[in-house]
Amino acid sequence: MGARRPLTAWKAIGAQTGGEYSLCEVRGPAGFAAPLHRHERENEGFYVASGEVTLVLGDVETRLVEGGFGFAPTGSPIHSGSRRLRRGCSF
């Protein structure tokens, strides 16, 4: 894992789930943030397996800790960082 780069492990992809969902585990260092993006056709959920994450939806920031869950519904405001890690984290 390079500086501020996550390690992503795909657990299931659309071809395996009939296009219903994809599932991945992301392990990232403190300071990692996903780029600004929006989903026009899919929901996005975040389960924090370890560490601490800040979910950013539009102007709202929600702190998630181990065991926490966040949700970005289809068409939700552009979310950034969606995962700004305060500490090393797995989600």
* More confident: 31 or 47: 47
* Cα–Cα distance list, 47 to 14, 27, 57 (Å): 19, 12, 16
Residue 72 above 80 pLDDT? yes
What is the pLDDT averaged over residues 69-83?
A: 74
Residue tagged 């929006």 (tokens): 38
Q: If you search the block for the tokens 């102007």, which residue do you land on? A: 59
Query: Is residue 15's pLDDT more than 90?
Result: yes
Residue 85: the pLDDT is 55
pTM of the model: 0.75
